[in-house]
Each structure stands twice: as structure tokens, then as C-alpha cells.
Chains A and B, each alone.
With several copies, the nearest count.
Chain A
């Protein structure tokens, strides 16, 4: 048994971390956050593309470097730690995965190479406004090669070149690939609690689109893409949670009250011990998820849900208790604490909240036990 990343994977992780530490210190997400004219950091995206990060898990035959998912997980953790304001999750975890899973050979050839080189940014459009979309409630339709209706909020919807859209087809739900720069597409930025990651409402009015996978399989494909993406999102969340813990522990060692570092008070010590414990539980579940993802194991649905649930809760807890540890300065705009607090919430809502994934987890256990 060897439950650890290999030396090469660790080296890749360190390389990513070092690159992001220099290219993407916290002034970078803050700038995107505060400047509404900047939807993402082109520099950081370019740096990630430069180190071939989007190509990590794309097979060489489609223009990728074919490292695999353990490598991609390592990169995702560092993207999360740095709060990188880039369309990495939309383009890599969602659009790339959807095409890898459901695309025809032609579609893979056409789109994956562009995704691998960063020439194109992809995204995935499911939500249709506040509330859950269900297989029966889809209002965006796909018929005769055209899309009709509105998706919102779509992550990176304002900057993506194309989107994979979950739509109601003529014979059931389907995935449709649409060029967002083409005809029949209008987009409008949507403000969220985390403006360092841009979102948009996209309205399709007869926008030409192509099927990805077969009609009727859309909802199932979406679930399978989300199972895989859940682990990558969880790694991002873990990176963020870990950054919060470091920030809080550092602050508590240096900040004095009553003549002693606040980190010497058990109220703070035990709080941060609890953050650490949750982070480590999440890390363990995530690494297991990474293994399941990399080997396409039968355990994937359970492992994905456990990773997702644990990481949502770890990051939410770490980001709020980081603010609390900082005291007054922690709830000011100028402190970086809230950048994590906001990102944590945004990520907790992306691809379904904890309550959705808890239910998926038990359903997966039921299926396993019935088998």
C-alpha cells in the first residue's frame, strides 16, 4: 500500500505552488474582486497555461500531456490555496471532463486541444436561476440544432468561448455544445458573493449548438461529470481551507492580548485544532477520491461525495473561524480574510451544495449495499 503522491507529483505540486505564490499573491484576486472590469486574471491564466496546467489530464492524442488525475488534483489544491481568479474549474474540471466523457472522436479532437493549450476557455451551464434545476424542470431547450432559454449563473459565462449546456432535448435531457461568441447568444454579468470569480446570465435565442453524447443521456452525463469534478473542486477547497488555517495560526502567534499571544488561549488553540482536524479529514477523503478518480474505481461515487461534503464543510469552517481569530481586523474589507470566506461559499454552491451531496452519498451507499 502506498497512500501518498509520488515524488514527481509532489514536485509538480511544489512547482505550481511556487509559481502561484509569485504570480498570484493575494493582491491578484483582490484586484479582480474590486475591479468589475476585470473578469479574471489573464496573467495568472497565462502562467497556468504556460506550465500546461489545463493539459494535465488530457491524453496526448488530444493535445494534452496525459499526466493523469493525481497530477491534476495536486494542481487543483494549489489553485485553491492561491485563490487564483481564473476559469480553471469551469474549463478544466467541467468542460474538459464533459467532452472527455461524452464527446465524439471529432469533438474531442476539435475541442480538447484548444482547452489543453488555453486557446479556448470552456464552461458548463446548468443553473437556471435561484433554486435547484432538476431533470424535470429544465427550461432551456435544444431542438433542431438550436438552443433556446436562459442559464444563470454560469461560471465564467462572460469570458468563456464555449459552453456545455444541460438542456431539454426532443427525447429527454441532453448536453449541447455551444459557441458563446456566435449568433443567438447574449450574456450579462451577474454579481455573486465572490466577485473574484465572474459569472454571467446567458440567454440563447436559437443559438446553433451540437449534441454532446446522445439525447436522453444528459442528466446522467451531468451527474457523472459532477462526480469527477467534485473531487477536483474538493481539492481546490482543501487548498483554500489550508491557507485559512495557516493565516489564522500565523496571526494568533503574533497578535498579543492580555500580555500574551492570543494563540496561547485555549479558546483559540482548540478552535484552530478543530480547523486542522477537519482539514485533515477532508484531505484524507480527497486523496482517496483522487485515487478513485485516477483509477476510475467503482468506489468513485462514494469517494466523490465524501470528498465533496468534507471539503465544503472544512473550507466553510476554516474561512469563518479565520475571520473570528483575526478579531476586528478580520471583518474589514482591507483584510484578506473575506476573500477566502466568499470563495468558500461560492465553491460550496458550485456543482451542488452539501445537502445535495449528502443525499448522493447515501444513495451511492444504498446502491453498493444492494449490489
Chain B
């Protein structure tokens, strides 16, 4: 075991760090910086400038092949870059879904011409992408989606509704999975496309979440036409193509925002209890801090182990599933407990809220985190089946024609 960089990594780290020093400000504790929740249009403009700067310096997407705007570097260099960048106050990325999920799908299934056209502007931040998969009736059961695609000459005509689409309202392009044949079995009747989000008939409506933020959208399709040349994979291969995207999603999700155990530690150190002592002197509080610290540290080291494996070119394991299924409930519990330490004053939210509303915001944000990108329940199924080799659930929908599967309506 060795937590040090290789000489190559160390050299790269030095290079990156000095570039960042020259081009960004270091984060300052207690200062919100560019990553605070800002209106997305303004945020997008700032982020595009930063992404363009990174792209110009060659740091935008280190692992991608050079012909598409990357540097063809080993994965670990990307990690080195991310670790360094994290210490700087740079705008939040609006490009993660495009670069993390859409680009790998395009690289696998698009024509060379399409890749040349679409990937470089993704890398440079000029064009933003989104992913149109989930539907109101197809969340955990993604393959239950029903958005229809009907072939009409050289085009396909799309009708239906997608939901939980991050960034749809500012995206230029999207990847889309549809059902072209309801008489086939569930996983067989799907076909995959990419499309111009400005196409006529595409309507985007924001979804307001519990937290008040709108990170997601509903997207309605009314007779939207997509050229057959923008089909990814064969007719009926939609599920296989989707799995490429989703495999990359599992790499992207995982962590949770603060507050974490050490935030509770700090709150407890600065909050007095009944006896005038700091809450951190209370054994019950200490045990809570310890429990969550052990979880948080476990997740941190699981990530380190995964990075080690990735850097050797090994396939990603179940680490992201573990991380998500642990960190989302942890966020919910830590948030609720932090509020408890503050008594009824812990209910205050907004400008006058204690500890910058961190615990109150976490409380409102956590329920979504336990659901989006795979519920706690789906993730446990995945771990049980893929890691422990336990049998799948009994399926009543697998081999039926899609149109005959019970829907309860």
C-alpha cells in the first residue's frame, strides 16, 4: 500500500496545481464561492467560460482520445486533476452528464462523422447534452418506458413523455430511448436515438423538488421528428445501448453533499446542551458522531480502493452502489440529528438559519438522493444479484408482449 503518487503522477499534479493557481482562486472555508446555488442560466454562462479555458489548456477531458478533444491520458490523471481542482473555487459542472454518459454512448455507437461533429463541442462546453430515459411509469423499472417511435420515411416520429431529465432546459442535444414496437417483449422493443433538443415538438417543463430547487425537468414529445441517421444501434437494440449509458452512470453517482460526520462534529463542538457543556461532551452525541464518521471514512477508503483498481484498468465494481446506498440515508440522518441538537431553533431555514442552513437543506435534499439514480431498494437488489450471486426476483413481465404487461390501469 502506498498513498503517494507515482513520479509521473506527481509531475502531472504539480503541473495541474500551478495551472489552477494561475487560473482560479483557492476555496476559502465559510465562503460560498462560485458553487453556491445560482440561477442556472447565469451559472451555465460562467461554467462554459471555465470549461472552455480548461479545454484550451487540455484539461477538459483528459481520458478522451486526442482526436475528440481529449489527451488520451490514463484514468488516474483525471483523478489527480479532479483532486486538485476540488480545492479551487470553480463553477459546478453542467457537463457531467454529457461527458460522463452521453459521450461514451456516442463513442460506442455513433458514426465517425457524428463523433467528430459532436464530441469536441461537448468537451469544450459549447454544447450541453442531456439524457432522456425515465418516464412517469418507468423509473426503477426503466425498461417499462412507453415513449413511442414510429418510422416515417427517413425519419422517426416521437410521441410521449420523459421525466427526471437534468438540464433539459439548457441542453442542446439529448440521448433518447423509445419504444418502437409494443407487441415485442419489454426489452426487445426499444430503439435509441440522439436528437437536437431544439427540434419542434420538444417541450421542457421544470420539476420543483421538495428542496425548492429544480434540478430536473419533464420533457414532452409531440410529433418530434428524428432522422434515422441519428439512431444509435439497431432497431430493437435500445436496451443494449441504454446499458452502455447506465454502466457509465453508476460511475458518476455515489457521494452525497454535506453535512457529513465532521460537520456534525463541528456543530456539536459549538453547540451547548442542557448543562452548558458543548454537545460534543455528551456521550450520546459522541457515539452518533463516531458511527457516522466510521461510515464516512469507510466510503472514503472504498473510493480509494476503487480508484486503485480503476488505475490498473480493472472494471468498476459495486463501489458506487455501496456509496449511494450508505451516503443518502446517512445524509438524511445526520441532517435530522443536527437539527435536533439545535432544538426548535433547528427548524429555522433561510437567511437566519443556524450553520448556514446546511442541516436543514440536507434534510430536504436527502429524500431525493435516496431515490434519484437508483433507489435504496434497487441498489440492494443489484448488490445481492451481481455481487453475491443471489437469484433474481421472480419476473412476471419478462417474456410477455409489452402491451400485455399489467400496469394497474
Direct contact of A and B (CB under 8 A): yes
Is the beta-carbon distance between A130 and B343 smaller than 8 angstroms?
A: yes
Within the assembled complex, what's the spacing in Å between the Cα atoms of A2 and B391? 34
Task: Determine the residue in chain A with the shortest Cβ distance to B286.
Answer: A362
Within the assembled complex, what's the spacing in Å between the Cα atoms of A4 and B139? 37
Within the assembled complex, what's the spacing in Å between the Cα atoms of A64 and B400? 66
Is the beta-carbon distance between B301 and A328 smaller than 8 angstroms?
A: no
Q: What sequence of 0s and 1s flags, for each residue 249-269 of chain A, a beta carbon within 8 Å of any chain B beta carbon?
A: 100111111111101111111
Is the beta-carbon distance between A3 and B367 smaller than 8 angstroms?
A: no
User: Interface-forming stretch among A46-54, A79-87, A285-293?
Assistant: A285-293
Within the assembled complex, what's the spacing in Å between the Cα atoms of A179 and B370? 46
Choose one: B210, B295, B325, B408; the contact of A332 (CB below 8 Å).
B210
| A residues in contact with B269, CB < 8 Å | 366, 369
Minimum CB–CB distance from B158 to chain A (whole Å) comes to 21
Is the beta-carbon distance between B290 and A361 smaller than 8 angstroms?
A: yes
Is the beta-carbon distance between B377 and A265 smaller than 8 angstroms?
A: yes
Minimum CB–CB distance from A289 to chain B (whole Å) comes to 9
Choose one: A257, A272, A324, A355; the contact of B384 (CB below 8 Å).
A272
Within the assembled complex, what's the spacing in Å between the Cα atoms of A287 and B393? 34
Is the beta-carbon distance between B210 and A361 smaller than 8 angstroms?
A: no
| A residues in contact with B385, CB < 8 Å | 269
| B residues in contact with A366, CB < 8 Å | 269, 280
Instruction: Judge if B223 is at the interface, Cβ distance under 8 Å.
Output: no
Minimum CB–CB distance from B13 to chain A (whole Å) comes to 11
Is the beta-carbon distance between A3 and B380 smaller than 8 angstroms?
A: no
Is the beta-carbon distance between A309 and B343 smaller than 8 angstroms?
A: no
Is the beta-carbon distance between B1 and A190 smaller than 8 angstroms?
A: no
User: A2-B308, A265-B393 in contact; A132/B272 too (CB < 8 A)?
Assistant: yes
Choose one: B295, B308, B345, B387; the contact of A130 (CB below 8 Å).
B345
Instruction: Judge if B336 is at the interface, Cβ distance under 8 Å.
Output: yes
User: Interface-forming stretch among B2-10, B85-93, B241-249?
Assistant: B2-10
User: A4-B1, A345-B336 in contact; A192/B371 too (CB < 8 A)?
Assistant: no
Instruction: Judge if A186 is at the interface, Cβ distance under 8 Å.
Output: no
Instruction: Judge if A284 is at the interface, Cβ distance under 8 Å.
Output: yes
**Interfacial residues of chain A within 324-347, with CB under 8 A of chain B in the complex:** 324, 327-334, 337-338, 341-342, 345-346
Choose one: A131, A253, A266, A356; the contact of B393 (CB below 8 Å).
A266
Is the beta-carbon distance between B336 and A127 smaller than 8 angstroms?
A: no
| A residues in contact with B352, CB < 8 Å | 190-191
Is the beta-carbon distance between A291 and B390 smaller than 8 angstroms?
A: no
Is the beta-carbon distance between A324 and B375 smaller than 8 angstroms?
A: yes
Is the beta-carbon distance between A70 and B1 smaller than 8 angstroms?
A: yes
| B residues in contact with A316, CB < 8 Å | 336
Task: Determine the residue in chain B with the shortest Cβ distance to A274.
Answer: B380
User: Interface-forming stretch among A92-100, A101-109, A169-177, A275-283?
Assistant: A275-283
Minimum CB–CB distance from A9 to chain B (whole Å) comes to 9
User: A269-B390, A285-B301, A358-B291 in contact; A130/B1 too (CB < 8 A)?
Assistant: no
Instruction: Judge if A14 is at the interface, Cβ distance under 8 Å.
Output: no
Is the beta-carbon distance between B297 and A288 smaller than 8 angstroms?
A: yes
Instruction: Judge if B124 is at the interface, Cβ distance under 8 Å.
Output: no
| B residues in contact with A245, CB < 8 Å | 388
Instruction: Judge if B14 is at the interface, Cβ distance under 8 Å.
Output: no
Is the beta-carbon distance between A5 and B144 smaller than 8 angstroms?
A: no
Minimum CB–CB distance from B16 to chain A (whole Å) comes to 15
Q: What sequence of 0s and 1s flags, for each residue 360-403 of chain B, a beta carbon within 8 Å of any chain A beta carbon?
A: 10011001101110011101110111011111111111001000
Minimum CB–CB distance from A154 to chain B (whole Å) comes to 9
Is the beta-carbon distance between B346 and A130 smaller than 8 angstroms?
A: yes
Is the beta-carbon distance between B139 and A328 smaller than 8 angstroms?
A: yes
Within the assembled complex, what's the spacing in Å between the Cα atoms of A330 and B207? 12
Instruction: Judge if A320 is at the interface, Cβ distance under 8 Å.
Output: yes
Is the beta-carbon distance between B381 and A359 smaller than 8 angstroms?
A: no
| B residues in contact with A126, CB < 8 Å | 344
Task: Determine the residue in chain B with the shortest Cβ distance to A188.
Answer: B352
Instruction: Judge if A349 is at the interface, Cβ distance under 8 Å.
Output: yes
Is the beta-carbon distance between B290 and A192 smaller than 8 angstroms?
A: no
| B residues in contact with A288, CB < 8 Å | 297, 301, 304
The SS class assigned to the A binding surface is helix
Task: Determine the residue in chain A with the shortest Cβ distance to B407.
Answer: A256
Within the assembled complex, what's the spacing in Å between the Cα atoms of A327 and B373? 11
Size category of the binding interface on chain B: 35 or more
| B residues in contact with A329, CB < 8 Å | 136
Is the beta-carbon distance between B287 and A355 smaller than 8 angstroms?
A: yes
Task: Determine the residue in chain A with the shortest Cβ distance to B303.
Answer: A284
User: A3-B308, A324-B376 in contact; A249/B290 too (CB < 8 A)?
Assistant: no
Is the beta-carbon distance between A333 and B210 smaller than 8 angstroms?
A: yes
Q: What sequence of 0s and 1s flags, for each residue 309-331 of chain A, a beta carbon within 8 Å of any chain B beta carbon?
A: 11000001000100110011111
Q: What sequence of 0s and 1s flags, for each residue 105-136 of chain A, a beta carbon within 8 Å of any chain B beta carbon?
A: 00000000000000000000011111111101
Q: What sequence of 0s and 1s flags, for each residue 351-371 of chain A, a beta carbon within 8 Å of any chain B beta carbon?
A: 111111111011001100100
| B residues in contact with A37, CB < 8 Å | none
Minimum CB–CB distance from B187 to chain A (whole Å) comes to 12
Instruction: Judge if B134 is at the interface, Cβ distance under 8 Å.
Output: yes
Is the beta-carbon distance between A291 and B3 smaller than 8 angstroms?
A: yes
Choose one: A324, A331, A355; the contact of B209 (CB below 8 Å).
A331
| B residues in contact with A214, CB < 8 Å | none
| B residues in contact with A337, CB < 8 Å | 210, 367
Is the beta-carbon distance between B298 and A127 smaller than 8 angstroms?
A: no
Minimum CB–CB distance from B213 to chain A (whole Å) comes to 9
**Interfacial residues of chain B within 328-366, with CB under 8 A of chain A in the complex:** 332, 336, 339-350, 352-355, 360, 363-364
Is the beta-carbon distance between B212 and A333 smaller than 8 angstroms?
A: yes
Instruction: Judge if B271 is at the interface, Cβ distance under 8 Å.
Output: yes
| B residues in contact with A194, CB < 8 Å | 347
Minimum CB–CB distance from B315 to chain A (whole Å) comes to 15
Minimum CB–CB distance from B364 to chain A (whole Å) comes to 7
- For the complex of A and B, the 4 pairs showing the least CB-CB separation, nearest first, are A259-B397, A281-B298, A130-B345, A284-B301
A-B contact pairs, 5 of them (CB 8 A): A4-B308, A130-B354, A284-B297, A338-B364, A353-B346
User: Which B residues lie at the A interface, using CB under 8 A?
Assistant: 1-5, 9, 76, 134, 136-137, 139-141, 144, 163-164, 207-210, 212, 262, 265, 269, 271-276, 280, 283-284, 286-287, 289-291, 293-295, 297-302, 304-305, 307-309, 311, 322, 325-326, 332, 336, 339-350, 352-355, 360, 363-364, 367-368, 370-372, 375-377, 379-381, 383-385, 387-397, 400, 405-409
With A264-B393, A324-B377, A359-B283 known, 9 other A-B pairs at CB within 8 A are A1-B2, A245-B388, A258-B396, A272-B388, A327-B371, A337-B210, A349-B343, A353-B340, A361-B293
